[in-house]
Amino acid sequence: MQMVTEIVPADKKGKQKVRLDNGEELLLYRSEIKQFHLKEGESVSEEDYSRLIHEVLTRRAKRRAMHLLERMDRTEYQLREKLRMGGYPSECIDAAIAYVKDFHYLDDRRYAGMFVRLQMEKMSRRQIRTKLLQKGIKSELIEEALDEEYQSDETEQIANLLKKRHYSPGEADEKEFRRTYQYLLRRGFQSSDILKQMKI
């Protein structure tokens, strides 16, 4: 049995934060607090606690996950973070993730492949790898996606970026050379490839 230690307002939409003595916090509407007779200093039966987690919060987390994926494709890590920030207990987040995965709405491998296809003309392999790691995608899935999807010629990319920046080897001073070189390095291109193109 859990004990309710505190009930405090959580947002302007009428949600309340119900703190339990096991350290857990449940984000509930006033009507739900009333329905389950939750009061500070009183215990919650195992049955009511289970119903709150599974019938109320897990159902809400699933709907929220679906809504978030309708707006834009996300990685599992990004979706977990969004749900965590929404105040859902980890058990509800796990259930919501499993639910959207069952319908193939969430697929990190598909996300990685699509990201590579969309970015390969603008980014180096290294930069794409870094961006996908930051999105929480596992390195083996990233490598698979890069091996299957990445078809861009990096020396051509460097040449195009130099053209866009109106870089001319004969006219550039040392300051412009350094600035352009650093810009290309930050985009993840190999130093040898950059230098080769900058000196043509």
pLDDT for the residue 200: 60
Give mean pLDDT in consecutive 10-residue pieces for the chain, a chain of 200 residues: 92 88 93 94 94 96 96 95 95 97 93 94 90 96 94 84 87 88 86 83
Amino acid at 20: L
Helices within the chain (DSSP H only) = 30-35, 46-51, 58-71, 76-85, 90-102, 108-119, 125-134, 139-149, 154-164, 174-186, 191-198
Q: Which residues of 78-106 are buried (b: 16+ CB within 10 A; e: fewer)?
A: bbbebbeeebbbeebbebbbebbeeeebb
Distant-in-sequence, close-in-space partners of 1: CB < 8 Å, separation ≥ 6: 43, 44, 45, 46, 49
Sign for the CA dihedral angle at 182, 188, 190, 196 comes to negative
Which tokens sit at 147? Answer: 């091996």
Angle at 119 between CA 116 and CA 121, to 5 degrees: 115
What interhelical angle do 125-134 and 108-119 show, nearest 10? 140
Amino acid at 132: L
Position of tokens 């965590």? Answer: 84
Residues paired with 4 in a beta bridge? 20
Nearest to 5 by CA among 17, 19, 15, 26: 19
